Amino acid sequence: GAESSSRHLPSHEGSDSFESPSPASKEACFEIFLSSLLVPGPCDPEDLIDGIIFAANYLGSTQLLSDKTPSKNVRMMQAQEAVSRIKAPEGEAQPMTEVDLFISTQRIKVLNADSQETMMDHPLRTISYIADIGNIVVLMARRRMPRSDSQENMEAPDPAQDEKRQYKMICHVFESEDAQLIAQSIGQAFSVAYQEFLRANGINPEDLSQKEYSDLLNTQDMYNDDLIHFSKSENCKDVYIEKQKGEILGVVIVESGWGSILPTVIIANMMHGGPAEKSGRLNIGDQIMSINGTSLVGLPLSTCQSIIKGLKNQCRIKLNIVRCPPVTTVLIRRPDLRYQLGFSVQNGIICSLMRGGIAERGGVRVGHRIIEINSQSVVATPHEKIVHILSNAVGEIHMKTMPAAMYRLLTAQEQPVYI
């Protein structure tokens, strides 16, 4: 979603697993994919272990509040917001400090170029996002919001509350002619750190070449639930809903999830006795393609909600829907353990997905909760056990998933807010 002049690397939240072979902490997304095999970089890996230095100008820092797992587009907007806050208006002098940016597989440090005093020091695992926009680099590090006493005393944190908890994002803004190189080097530092983690656990990352992985993808058919439902003409239909002027439609919508063939919104709940339910023409799980001729494909959830709210004074609404069951079927084909799955999971929720990996081909979607793995329910299964099951699964891996927001509604963890 960004302009061609800006490139951005995927979020690497939860890279705790790089530093220690212990199971991922509850706050972390456990990285199941071997990102090291797919993110080439400009540096010699040995140099990144010792650390490399780039010269840059430090323009300033700002703090943003962020959801736990925002989308890539939201991350980029946050980065651009940080730049707009820090950069001086056109024509005004920009305050700046000459710095040395130290990047290694362990940490990122910012040193005053003259005094060599440390101005900032972030462990690599706390870096959530790197964006380069022209000659500007935005480095975003997360800080946990302090828990209240009442939260500290809770014996078991509620996963739904944990998802909604916000984080303080510290955004540092730098200017450098090497902006793109800096961003690529930080991305590569994550990759090299992961290779070191694999070696510490007795796995040789060179055992699997990029060509082997490409060859595997080329032999696999794409399996995506969407394709099955979209290809049947009887599943794609126009539905007309009659309602009173001033009456709400009476639905809850959620995102279909990144990884969908056509990312749009799904009906997650319907108000009892509301126009949507009374029509008898809509089901939970239906994907809404357009409303009154306005396409919802690719639009943010908030925009889709606004469009539906804007229909309050209309008496007849036309929805173009694709009939889909609320549960998505996923099929990942993994010949052996050397092939990375290509997604991260946290407390049963898929929180990142590698573009072009076997998981994306199999229909995995970001923001979905895993309900079953190979016909075994994992609804009440601890995070570490889910990671263990997935890490050791080979052959055909069958999963059932549904949008996490829909799951919370169905299990009464959240109350529906109808629109």
| Percent of the chain residues past pLDDT 90, beyond the cut | 30
Residue 77 tokens, joined: 């907007």
Give phi and psi for 157, each to the nearest 5: -65, 145
- Residue 400 to residue 373: CA distance in whole angstroms: 7
Tell me the pLDDT band of 305, cut-offs 50, 70 and 90: very high
CA distances for 379 relative to 114, 274, 369, angstroms? 55, 30, 9
More confident call, 85 vs 199:
85
If one compares 244 and 74, the residue with the highest pLDDT of the two is 244
Distance, in Å, from the CA atom of 235 to the CA atom of 211, rounded to the nearest integer, reads 39
298/275: higher pLDDT: 275
358-369 pLDDT per residue, tens: 888 888 988 899
Residues 6+ apart with CB under 8 A from 282: 239, 241, 251, 267, 270, 276, 319, 321
pTM of the model: 0.51
At 160, the pLDDT band (50, 70, 90 cuts) reads: low
* 3-class SS of residue 372: strand
pLDDT value, residue 99: 94
Q: Is 179 exposed, middle or buried (0-12, 13-18, 19+ CB in 10 A)?
A: buried
Residue 150: pLDDT band by 50, 70, 90 thresholds? very low
Q: What angle do CA 164, 391, 15 make, to 5 degrees?
A: 50
DSSP code for 329: E
Among 41-55, 153-167, 401-415, the range scoring the smallest mean pLDDT is 153-167
Cβ contact 416:269 at 8 Å: yes
Q: pLDDT tens digits, residue range 29-81? A: 333 333 333 445 677 777 888 888 999 999 999 988 887 667 777 888 888 89
- The span from the CA of 389 to the CA of 211, in Å, is 27
**Model confidence at 21: pLDDT above 60:** no
All domains in the chain, ordered by first residue: 47-144+165-206 (2.30.29.30), 233-323 (2.30.42.10), 328-411 (2.30.42.10)
Six-digit token pair at 41? 């970089």
- In the chain, the amino acid numbered 333 is R
Contact 267, 406 (CB under 8 A): no
Encoded tokens for 247: 């009456």
Identity (one letter) of the amino acid at 173? V
Q: Are 339 and 26 in contact (CB under 8 A)?
A: no
Side-chain-side CA neighbours of 354 within 13 Å: the count stands at: 21
User: Which pLDDT belongs to residue 411?
Assistant: 86
Distance CA 376, CA 397 (A): 11
Left (φ > 0), alpha (ψ -120 to 50) or beta: where does 247 sit?
Answer: beta
Which residues are paired to 108 by β-bridges? Answer: 103, 122
The whole-number pLDDT of residue 76 equals 84
C-alpha–C-alpha distance, residues 56 and 97, integer Å = 8
